[in-house]
Amino acid sequence: MYTNPCIHPLFVSCVLKLDMFNIVHKENTLIKCVPYYHNSLSNKVRQHESNMAGYVLIWAIFSSIDLLVHCQVYVFQNLDEHEQRISVLESSIANATSCCSALTKENEFLKIQNKQLFSMVQNLSAQFSALQQNMVALTTVPTTTPTPSIPTTKLITTTATPTPPAISVSRDCADLAAKGQTLSGVFDVNIGGNAKKVYCDFDHDGGRWTVIQRRQGAPVDFNRNWTEYRDGFGVLTTDFWLGNEVIHRLTAAGNNILNIKVMDWSGNIEFAEYKNFYLSDESTDYTMTVGKYSGTAGDSFNYPSSSLLRHNNHRFSTPDRDRDNSFMNCAQLLKSGWWFNSCYSSNLNGMFLKGTPHGPKTMGEVSGEPTLEGTGIEWYPWKHQQYSMAHVEMKIRPV
């Protein structure tokens, strides 16, 4: 018990009661607050769970986006690889197509050469048969004794004289075609009363062509003098120049067509054709005249870009006879014979650059003004650059 004499027992009892009341009140208040805090805590737990679910959903979305980004990068990388493979395949197909085209054109040329060789064999066989007949005629001895008034030697001479072949009276290949000749090859024609061998093309562009020039290799040197270009040189079945005098006589009647074929080193072929082609005689230096142009190779003889580079109405020049309009000797510089001006837009008798379209100099050309150094067999209006052809052919026929 309380021993302090100053504190009344009743006061102590009241205080104790009051303390008990406070305790009971606080307990009741606490009991009442527990459900509230429980509900609040449950709500916060549920809210937290909801937030966690949202966070998980957001994380899943970001993970999906990251996965999609990686997939997209992978797809684009594979697309680039496939595009590169497709590009390589397309390039390979283009190269194969180009090679096939070149092989096809080369095959056509081989067929032409086979025909030419076959025609040569036939002509040689015919000439051999004629020689055999002449030998038989020369060695034939008359069975009867000749009378004294007719010497034996004269009889043998008469018997041995062969009859001139009918082919020699033909004026040109067009005349031969009119008489029924259809196989291309080497034939004799009548040039100024003399038999002259020429190559006839009956297979291309309507036939009837007399070939006056061909370049397809390097066995024949075209760096020749005036006399050689006048009389002709080379081999009729490969590379040759028929001769300015023969070309003059073949075109003297007028109204002739000149056809020029050019082929590059990829097997592409273009042509230039001129009406009213004519070559004057030697007294005027075999001046060339042409009329209207048609074709796909471009017009060199009436070159539209520069009057100084045209060849129409110009005289023929060779290294030893300079007849051009330049202060230089173009024929000597370019090592060929041609109708040079100052100097050229074509030079089909230039050097044969075997296996390549370009000579030592490949840079520095100005449009319309081809360079001189390193030039070869050139037809400038087609390529518009210094480019030496792999194969060219010039042929004529009357209209």
Closest CA relative to residue 297, chosen from 366, 211, 383, 212: 383
Q: Is 97 exposed, middle or buried (0-12, 13-18, 19+ CB in 10 A)?
A: exposed
Q: What is the DSSP string of 94-117?
A: HHHHHHHHHHHHHHHHHHHHHHHH
Q: Is the pLDDT of residue 190 over 80?
A: yes
pLDDT score at 353: 87
pLDDT score at 67: 74
Mean pLDDT in residue range 250-276: 96
pLDDT score at 73: 72
Q: Give the C-alpha separation, 213 to 245, whole Å.
A: 14
- Give the phi and the psi of residue 241 in degrees, each rounded to 5: -125, 120
Q: Report residue 375's pLDDT band, with 50, 70 and 90 as the boundaries.
A: confident
Instruction: At 24, list the tokens.
Output: 């009971």
Q: Report residue 106's pLDDT band, with 50, 70 and 90 as the boundaries.
A: low
Q: Is the pLDDT of residue 363 over 50?
A: no
Closest CA relative to residue 358, chosen from 387, 334, 384, 333: 387
Q: Name the CA radius of gyration of the chain, rounded.
A: 51
Instruction: At 39, list the tokens.
Output: 């509900």
Q: Report residue 128's pLDDT band, with 50, 70 and 90 as the boundaries.
A: low
Q: Report residue 1's pLDDT band, with 50, 70 and 90 as the boundaries.
A: very low
SS (H, E, C) 38-86: HHHHHHHHHHHHHHHHHHHHHHHHHHHHHHHHHHHHHHHHHHHHHHHHH
Q: What angle do CA 170, 171, 175 make, to 5 degrees?
A: 70
Where are the chain's structural domains? 1-134, 167-398
More confident call, 158 vs 13: 13
Q: Give the C-alpha separation, 214 to 260, whole Å.
A: 10
Instruction: At 55, list the tokens.
Output: 């966070």
pLDDT score at 29: 60
The predicted-structure confidence for 193-239, as pLDDT tens digits, reads as follows: 899 999 999 999 999 999 999 999 878 999 999 999 999 999 999 99
pLDDT score at 139: 45
Instruction: Look at the alpha carbons of 248, 249, 252, 255 in this order and tell me if their dihedral is positive or negative.
Output: negative
More confident call, 140 vs 330: 330
Look up residue 373 and give its DSSP letter.
T
Q: Is the pLDDT of residue 331 over 50?
A: yes
Cα 254 to the chain's mean position, in Å? 35
Q: Is the pLDDT of residue 165 over 60?
A: no
More confident call, 102 vs 89: 89
Q: Is the pLDDT of residue 103 over 60?
A: yes
Q: What is the mean pLDDT of the chain?
A: 78
Mean pLDDT in residue range 68-78: 69
More confident call, 215 vs 128: 215
Mean pLDDT in residue range 300-321: 95
One-letter amino acid of 200: C
102-116, 247-261, 378-392: range with highest mean pLDDT: 247-261
Q: What angle do CA 381, 383, 387 make, to 5 degrees?
A: 110
Among 23-32, 69-78, 145-154, 307-316, whose mean pLDDT is lowest?
Answer: 145-154
pTM for the full predicted model = 0.58
247, 279 in Cβ contact below 8 A?
Answer: yes
Superfamily of domain 167-398: Gamma Fibrinogen, chain A, domain 1 (3.90.215.10)
Mean pLDDT in residue range 136-145: 44
pLDDT score at 198: 97
Q: Report residue 276's pLDDT band, with 50, 70 and 90 as the boundaries.
A: very high
